[in-house]
Amino acid sequence: MALTDSDGKKKKKYSNDRAALKAKAQHMLVADVKQSDIDALLSTGGITSDTDIPDIKQRLKWQGKELNPTIEDQEIIDVLDKKITKPTGKFKKKKKKTILEKIFG
């Protein structure tokens, strides 16, 4: 018996289909945090994860620091809680391929 959506279409199974899994992974939402955002948040004194987000942004503005405009409030808190320690999303450094990966794909 196949799983179906409310409109009657069959749901896509992602068990071992590599192409489908790769496509699904590309659709996942990822936090976009720059290294400069991490440095600005962690180097500013008096800011903790308990500090209000508008207060954090105001303190950064007073010091002439600017955050990435796409950074979300939860991402700011995650940086301050040290859950995010490296650039993520579109700012993440791409891993270089090894020689074997270049040859065999």
Per-residue pLDDT, 44:
84
- Whether residue 97 lies inside any domain: the answer is no
What percent of the chain stands above pLDDT 90? 20
**Token code pair at residue 103:** 């040859």
pTM score: 0.58
Per-residue pLDDT, 1:
40
- Whether residue 59 lies inside any domain: the answer is yes
Q: Looking at the 3D structure of the chain, how many domains does it have? A: 1
Closest CA to 55 of 63, 38, 83: 63
- Whether residue 11 lies inside any domain: the answer is no
Closest CA to 97 of 87, 105, 89: 105
- Whether residue 43 lies inside any domain: the answer is yes
- Whether residue 53 lies inside any domain: the answer is yes
From first to last of its 105 residues, what are the pLDDT tens digits of the chain? 444 445 555 555 556 667 776 666 555 555 678 888 899 999 888 888 899 999 999 999 999 998 888 888 999 999 999 998 888 776 676 677 777 777 776
Per-residue pLDDT, 84:
87
Q: Structural domain of residue 66, as residue ranges?
A: 35-91
Residue with tokens 């794909």: 105
